[in-house]
Amino acid sequence: MRKINDKELIQMLKEGNMTQKEMADHFGCSEPAITKRKKRYRKLGLYNEFEVPETFRNLSDKEQRFVLARVEGKNQTQAALEAFECGTPGSARSIGSQLANRDDIQKAMSELMQEEGLTRRNRVQVLKRHVYANDPNVSLKALDQTWKLEGLYTEKHVHAHISYADCVKDLSELDREIEQLENELGIDGDDSKGEGQFIS
């Protein structure tokens, strides 16, 4: 394995013409070795430029805007509204849901956060501190976030179409059932008219 030339690597990083894999191949080392050097350069202030992960670069402009909005903390619907020209909140919800379930979008979000040091473990540790905060508002909000992370909240949409004719038909059937029950019990229907009875 060839020794990594720090000056040469810093120059490559600043030029941004090579992928991390190409840099690793150039120096005959592993990609994690390049990542480790980059972190060291950042700490020393030798290289501060943010590197956009390849998974993010491969997305369309609108998909990138969606990912950035999600990483900033917006929900799927808000991110879709911001990134796409959605006619309605319903279409934004649909687009947001479809994008959020795509592997390439999930990977781009994950790598973008890791690039900024927001690994899942780091986020869980920060969240844990908030769960046990003395302020109950902070604690409850943090608990809410833990449930979201586990996917315990799911959006369910029920669409029902009921026509006036269906309602009248149902009420007529109900009237017949009430009349039949009154006959079986020997109750005079005229005595109970208007009380709990539907008239079509």
Residues 111, 100, single domain; the answer is yes
Residues 66, 99, single domain; the answer is yes
Cα-Cα-Cα-Cα dihedral sign, residues 128, 130, 132, 137? negative
Read off the pLDDT band of 180 (50, 70, 90): confident
Residues 131, 171, single domain; the answer is no
Residue 40 domain flag: yes
Does residue 186 have a pLDDT over 80?
A: no
Residues 127, 113, single domain; the answer is no
Q: For 57-102, how does the pLDDT look when each residue is reduced to its tens digit (9 = 90+)? A: 888 888 988 988 888 778 889 999 988 888 888 999 999 999 999 9
Q: Would you give the DSSP letter of residue 87?
A: S
Exposure class string for 8-43: b at 16+ Cβ within 10 A, else e: ebeebbeeeeeebeebbebbebeeeebeebbeebee
Residues 132, 148, single domain; the answer is yes
pLDDT of 198 reads 46
| Domain span including residue 189 | 160-200
Read off the pLDDT band of 196 (50, 70, 90): very low
Average pLDDT over residues 28-55: 79
Residue 1 domain flag: no
Average pLDDT over residues 173-186: 79
CATH of the domain at 44: 1.10.10
Q: For 121-167, how does the pLDDT look when each residue is reduced to its tens digit (9 = 90+)? A: 666 777 778 878 888 888 888 778 777 766 666 555 555 666 666 66
What's the domain count of the chain? 4
Residues 94, 128, single domain; the answer is no
